[in-house]
Amino acid sequence: MLEADLLEADMEREADNVVHEAKPADSSGMTERRRTFLERWPSALMGFGLVAGYGMFASFIGQFLFPSRKKQHASQYVADLQSFAHGQSMTYVSPAGERVVVTRVAETGAVEDFIALSSVCPHLGCQVHWESQNNRFFCPCHNGAFDPEGNPIAGPPQEANQALPRYQLHVENGLLFIDASTERLVKLA
């Protein structure tokens, strides 16, 4: 009889504990976990906002310091191969005034027959011209000279190893095209 009473008392105590654990943590009806979550939520939101804000600011500064420019490239017609004789040269000029000399140095009919080089001397910016009799580009300002590939062979450009900038060309259906930014090159009339 005593044992039955003790067993019954233990069962009541355990049932009471279960009910006690399931009870809300406070009088407002919130559990501990829910209250912690609600307390931390504004801080997390503020942290996320700060990170996003700093990220946008860094992106803005990056674009300001290193602006990206999209250059549009296109093939531009230069000449008919039939009408561009060996030893002849012609000039293209950019909208900004940069001049490009296209010269025919062979007669195989391939793109290797042609060379397109900037006509601005890399020494001090004078205009170079093609001398077919000497097979070179010559700069009269300080007697600078360049081979047909634009490599320096005399004068200050040779001493400073300054070559003429070169442009890509290609041949299609017997026509010569120059590959360059449309912002930079237009045909000289």
| Residue 165 makes contact with ligand FES by CB under 6 A | no
Beta bridge partners of 120: 127
- From the list 31, 25, 150, 178, the residue with the least C-alpha distance to 90 is 178
Interacting stretch for ligand FES, rule CB under 6 A, among 3-11, 38-46, 103-111, 139-147? 139-147
Q: Sign of dihedral through CA atoms 40, 45, 51, 54? A: negative
CA atoms within 13 A on the CB side of 101: 26
Question: In this chain, which of 81, 100, 139, 180 binds ligand FES, going by CB under 6 A?
Answer: 139
Q: Which is nearer to ligand FES, 30 or 154 (CB)?
A: 154
Report the SS3 class of residue 74.
strand
Cβ(146)–Cβ(137) under 8 Å? Answer: yes
Q: Which is nearer to ligand FES, 143 or 181 (CB)?
A: 143
Residue number of the CB closest to ligand FES reads: 144
Question: Residue 152 and residue 165: Cα distance in Å, rounded?
Answer: 11
| Residue 153 makes contact with ligand FES by CB under 6 A | no
| Residue 150 makes contact with ligand FES by CB under 6 A | no
| Residue 156 makes contact with ligand FES by CB under 6 A | yes
Question: 37: how many CB neighbours lie within 10 A of its CB?
Answer: 12
How many residues of this chain interact with ligand FES, rule: CB under 6 A? 11
Q: Which is nearer to ligand FES, 156 or 165 (CB)?
A: 156
Q: Which residues bind ligand FES (CB under 6 A)?
A: 121, 123-124, 126, 139, 141-142, 144, 155-157
